[in-house]
Amino acid sequence: MSFGDPNNPYGPPPGQQPGYPPQPPQGQPGYGYPAAPPPQGQPGYGYPMAPPVPQYGYGGQMEMPGLMKTARVFLFILGGLQLLAGVFIGIAVGAAQDVSNGIGSGDSTDGLAGLGFVIAVLVLAMGALSIFLGVKFKNGGSGIRITTIVYSSIMLLGSVVNIANGESGSVTFGGLISLTMGGIILASMVTSSASAWFNRPRY
């Protein structure tokens, strides 16, 4: 039995018997071979999506809560006002003592002048502390939070005393302003967001 001329270009390829369909090339999809597997790591192929990004700012840093930003601004404002008030009190006490010395009654007013200078120094120290706390809000820890709570509590107490004893409208108005700012600062320090901020991990 003859299978034809082996040199016939239209005959079956070498090694294949006539009368059978041609065999597909090895490795091509669509001829009984599965397609190539999907690329690894793409979502939708059994791989979960990336977890949601936490509430952090740019560069992976946690963002300061809005109420704390307001409290920080108030600390700077109160610090500046207290520094100005301390300087003004010191100048006023010194001028009053000079007048008292000029009229010959300086010895009797030395105690009052000394008390006035002590008050001026305390006010200056409170102003410096307020500004220091505002600066440390960015990188400070739980100690800054506790100190801010103590500072704002002192401010609230002083404001109430000024309002109760204030005979002039300016003293009462100043007490109301410091009472409002001190209350907002204290309220911002006792929230859970403040605790999370001051206890956050530092990288």
Predicted confidence at residue 177, as pLDDT, reads: 86
Predicted confidence at residue 52, as pLDDT, reads: 44
Q: Write down the pTM of the prediction.
A: 0.64
Q: Evaluate whether 151 touches 189 at the Cβ level (below 8 Å).
A: no
pLDDT digits (tens, 9 = 90+) for 127-157: 999 999 999 998 888 899 999 999 999 999 9
In whole angstroms, give the CA distance from residue 83 to residue 78: 9
**Residue 159, Cβ density class (10 Å: 0-12 exposed, 13-18 middle, ≥19 buried):** buried
Q: Which long-range contacts (CB under 8 A, 24 or more apart) does 144-153 make?
A: 144/198, 145/189, 145/194, 145/195, 145/198, 148/71, 148/75, 148/185, 148/189, 149/186, 149/189, 149/190, 151/126, 151/185, 152/182, 152/183, 152/185, 152/186, 152/189, 153/182, 153/186
pLDDT digits (tens, 9 = 90+) for 14-66: 555 555 555 555 555 555 555 555 555 555 555 555 544 444 544 457 788 88
- Token pair for residue 41? 């790591």
What would you report as the CA-atom Rg of the chain, rounded to the nearest whole angstrom? 41
The closest of 198, 187, 191 to 71, measured between CA atoms, is 187
Q: Which residue has the higher pLDDT, 171 or 9?
A: 171
